[in-house]
Amino acid sequence: MDARIVILVSLFYLLLLFGVAIYANKRSKVGQSIVNNPLVYSLSLAVYCTVWTYYGSVGRAAASGLGFVTVYLGPTIMAPIWYMVMRKMILISKQLRVTSIADFLSSRYGKSTFIGVITTIILVFGIIPYISIQLKAIGYSFDLITSQNSSNDFWDSSTFYKDKVNYFTILLAVFTILFGTRSLDPNERHEGLIAAIALESIVKLVAFLAAGIFAVYFLYDGLTDVFSKGAINPITSHLVTLKTDPAAATNWFWVLVLSAVSVMFLPRQFHVSVVENNNVSFVRQASWLFPLYLFLISFFVLPIAIAGKLSLPDGSEPDMFVLSLPLFHGHDWLALMVYIGGFSAAASMVVVSVISLSIMVSNNLLMPFLLKTRTAAIEGYALLSDRLLYIRRLVIIIILFLAYGFYKSVSSNFPLVSIGLISFTAILQLAPAVLGGMYWSNANKKGAMAGLLAGFFIWFITLPIPTLAESGIISKSLLTDGYFSVPWLRPYGLFGLENVDHISNACIWSMIFNIGLFVVVSLLTTQDVDELAQGDIYVHIEKYSNTPDMEVIRREASVQKLKQLLVRYLGSAKTRYLLKIYDGKLSDKNDDNASQEFINFIEKTLTGAFGSASAKLLLSTDIRRQSVTLEQLNELLKQTKEILEYSQALEEKTTELTKTTQELATVNTQLKQLDVLKAEFISTVTHELRTPITSIRSFAQMMEKKEDLLPEQKKEFLGIILKECDRIKRLINQVLEVEKIDAEVDALGESSSIDSTVRLALSRLQPQIEEKNINLTYQSSDSTIMVNLAEDKMLQVMLNLLSNALKFCDAQAGIIKVTLERNDIVNTTYLEVYNNGQYISPQYHNKIFEKFTQLKDGNLAKPEGSGLGLYITRKFVEQAGGKVSFISSEKEGTTFILQFP
């Protein structure tokens, strides 16, 4: 393919990424972040997959079969542990505004400058080879894709200005500077960068899957075909079987450990998973989404390796099978897509790694040095932040060209994976200090220093130096004779260790010395006040993240001085902006003592911008700290724990109290409602009492005053008076009944015959039935059915239901039907009372069986009863273990249904 097309497409792709980044930044400024979700977060974690994955895995699979899987198995198996450790790391880093793994360690061990310096040095040494293989892969893939086009004899890798990798390096440096050092953000958050990384993760996955599908389904007839052909052919048969010798097992184990540790502590992983994290809860989804991504991207590795070995000419570079397969079979555009995928993998790794390294080098290496030298003390060395940006840009360029140099001198001779594993082993050296620092209170600065230095030293003499020897930079005799010609100091077989591979050798010895010294020195030495205070935050972060401004050691500072400090180092515009964001109770008085909250704010801001050790130095002159001894501090830490527990208990009490208050409020409303109902009830009852009394009074008065009444008239009047008296009596009885039911607990042990009670009720109501000329029918299927209710109560139930039916049934042609039947299958007795009268409007359906509810409809302005009949009915039926319900419709009338067991 024409080199110009490839270059144009690469440039266009970079522009696209930059556009996405700008768009994401814009969206984030208006508060509509496209990055703030678990999916983008998980995709950004896939920065883990570099060219090592993209090209190198196939190379490794072509050499040793399934061995490549360990690098993906490690993070997958460790997902639960990753989840726990990440959560804690994120909480700690947000609490302390930590912006790199070096600062994470420095801050833990008493904001130690020295720890920050050695961590940074280890990481720079460890990561530069790793970056160099990305450059190598970009150059190699570019060569390959343009190789058929022989016209480009312009390139010549031996001349600096003619080496294309050199131009790629420059391009990546520009890209990194644009992405990473646009401004100094105390949080080191780059939403645009993350959006671009997520896009690159999608591109590399899609491209790799496309290559895999091409190899498996276009060159062969599916996975079974590839594997069966691979198993028959002697060139590839060893790839599809698992090796079982102990040396291979040791290697598997260590690669598993290395990858599990690297996925947490690699600078670029720490940057995307901790520093750029928006929400700690994303970690939960990422703990399965990220392994899923790893599974997908490694799925076709082995088939591609087999297909490459079987179908490509001898001498093809295994690391480049992904690209050479489509090229060799004439699919140039697929090859271009694969090339862009690989370019994505390399670019995202380089950009994030270099940004992260530049933060560490500037904050943890250069800043403390600058601050301690005289120049920093000179007033007018203002706007450290601006200077810092220049420093970072310079650091980015230096790191990239160191990587370029390493590529030129060393990496070009080694496969991608072996160089990558050297970097992973360097990262492993941080693991004891980081994990110990997070979970072991006694871990201290001296222990961490000893462990880190020892581990780094062993790593250095067992991996990078022999690698230099292998590439001929130093004498090759080192490999066979050992250091100082001492045989048990042979770099690949340290202390006479035999039968292990280089990586296992380095891991075993570095870990023995690293962990051993870290633990022993920590136990033998004591912590100082800073270490103790910081260690408490790391180990018991949950205590602090609930109470962000808890201050263990009291500190004092003047507000004015702190403001000046910010202005001096961050500039007045930035300071004004920050103070606007900070809306604490800040006094304007110059000599005013700053609150702990404000001191924390200033410290966090400076830590974010310059690293914890530098912030400590910057603040040391302006903040007076209460001097405490170790014993006092231990006591204080214990107290804060107690205070925290106490405040938690208090919080629980408050919640309880709120709950009680709410309950009381509910009861109160209920009581008020009941009160309203009672008032209504009383007014109804008085109205109902007045009516009969009116008649009684009127007729009695007539009988008293008028002496000329006929005997029949007297008799009629007396009859009316008696009837109205009965009405009053009935009302009073019902009211009393309700009171009795409300107080009554149970009334079991009595029973009565339903049939005979119904008949009794009907005979009582006979006069009214006849008077209203109602068509009443009663059907009973069984006269022996009993109910667990005393007869007087059952009678009242029936009288209530029947008189309701009488009251509401059609005035002209009233029909009432009573049916009694027993269903033995469901073991239930049904008693139904139907009337053809007016239906009950839905608004009353829920209330009809409640106390004091009376139907008030347009057609029925005057409540006829006390509002107690159906309430009493329900209560009695429930006492008998039964249920009462009703069906009401405009056409059909109303049926009340009683169900008894």
Binding site for another protein (CB under 8 A): 686-687, 690-699, 701-702, 705-706, 720, 723-724, 859-862
State both tokens at 275: 């520093």
- CA distances 792 to 760, 799, 896, Å, are 11, 10, 20
Instruction: Identify the three-state secondary structure at position 811.
Output: coil
Q: Which residues, including other chains, have CB under 8 Å from residue 656's CB and lie 6 or more apart?
A: none
Per-residue burial over 393-416, b = 16 or more CB atoms within 10 Å of its CB, e = otherwise? bebbbbbbebbbebbbebbbebbb
Instruction: CB nearer to another protein: give 603 or 724.
Output: 724
Distance, in Å, from the CA atom of 335 to the CA atom of 478, rounded to the nearest integer, reads 42
State both tokens at 617: 């130095």
> Least CB distance from residue 893 to another protein, whole Å?
18
> How would you classify the pairing of strands 775-780 and 786-787?
unpaired
DSSP state of 840: P
> Least CB distance from residue 725 to another protein, whole Å?
12
> Least CB distance from residue 896 to another protein, whole Å?
22
Distance, in Å, from the CA atom of 753 to the CA atom of 765, rounded to the nearest integer, reads 19
> Least CB distance from residue 887 to another protein, whole Å?
24
> Least CB distance from residue 710 to another protein, whole Å?
12
Instruction: CB nearer to another protein: give 220 or 717.
Output: 717
> Least CB distance from residue 843 to another protein, whole Å?
19
> Least CB distance from residue 715 to another protein, whole Å?
14
> Least CB distance from residue 793 to another protein, whole Å?
30
> Least CB distance from residue 873 to another protein, whole Å?
24
State both tokens at 346: 């390399």
Instruction: CB nearer to another protein: give 238 or 723.
Output: 723
> How would you classify the pairing of strands 624-625 and 752-753?
unpaired
Instruction: CB nearer to another protein: give 92 or 696.
Output: 696
Instruction: CB nearer to another protein: give 467 or 866.
Output: 866
State both tokens at 2: 């024409």
> How would you classify the pairing of strands 624-625 and 828-835?
unpaired
> Least CB distance from residue 688 to another protein, whole Å?
8
State both tokens at 378: 């000179």
Instruction: CB nearer to another protein: give 110 or 867.
Output: 867
> Least CB distance from residue 860 to another protein, whole Å?
6
215 contacts 356 by C-beta, under 8 angstroms: no
616 contacts 371 by C-beta, under 8 angstroms: no
Instruction: CB nearer to another protein: give 663 or 857.
Output: 857
> Least CB distance from residue 723 to another protein, whole Å?
8
Largest CA distance in the chain: 151
Instruction: CB nearer to another protein: give 263 or 806.
Output: 806
Instruction: CB nearer to another protein: give 52 or 808.
Output: 808
Distance, in Å, from the CA atom of 114 to the CA atom of 120, rounded to the nearest integer, reads 10
Distance, in Å, from the CA atom of 373 to the CA atom of 370, rounded to the nearest integer, reads 5
437 contacts 538 by C-beta, under 8 angstroms: yes
Instruction: CB nearer to another protein: give 674 or 702.
Output: 702
State both tokens at 100: 């790199």
137 contacts 319 by C-beta, under 8 angstroms: yes
Instruction: CB nearer to another protein: give 174 or 722.
Output: 722
> Least CB distance from residue 883 to another protein, whole Å?
32
> Least CB distance from residue 730 to another protein, whole Å?
15
> Least CB distance from residue 828 to another protein, whole Å?
37
Write the single-letter amino acid at 150: S
Query: Which run of H or E residues covers position 896?
Result: strand 893-900
Cα 879–Cα 881–Cα 885 angle in degrees, nearest 5: 95
Instruction: CB nearer to another protein: give 639 or 694.
Output: 694
State both tokens at 299: 């799925």
120 contacts 360 by C-beta, under 8 angstroms: yes
Cα-based torsion angle of the residue sequence 603, 607, 612, 613 in order, rounded to the nearest 10 degrees: -80
Instruction: CB nearer to another protein: give 521 or 696.
Output: 696
Neighbours of 22 (CB within 10 A): 14
Looking at beta carbons, which pairs linking 217-222 to residues 24 or more positions away fall under 8 Å? 219/307, 219/311, 219/325, 219/329, 220/303, 220/307
Instruction: CB nearer to another protein: give 179 or 852.
Output: 852
Instruction: CB nearer to another protein: give 694 or 889.
Output: 694
Instruction: CB nearer to another protein: give 296 or 703.
Output: 703
> Least CB distance from residue 859 to another protein, whole Å?
6
> Least CB distance from residue 853 to another protein, whole Å?
17
Query: Which run of H or E residues covers position 834?
Result: strand 828-835
- CA distances 469 to 464, 492, 505, Å, are 9, 12, 17
Cα 13–Cα 17–Cα 22 angle in degrees, nearest 5: 145
Instruction: CB nearer to another protein: give 536 or 724.
Output: 724
194 contacts 164 by C-beta, under 8 angstroms: no
Three-state secondary structure readout of 593-653: ECCHHHHHHHHHHHHHHHCHHHHHHHHHCCCEECCCCHHHHHHHHHHHHHHHHHHHHHHHH
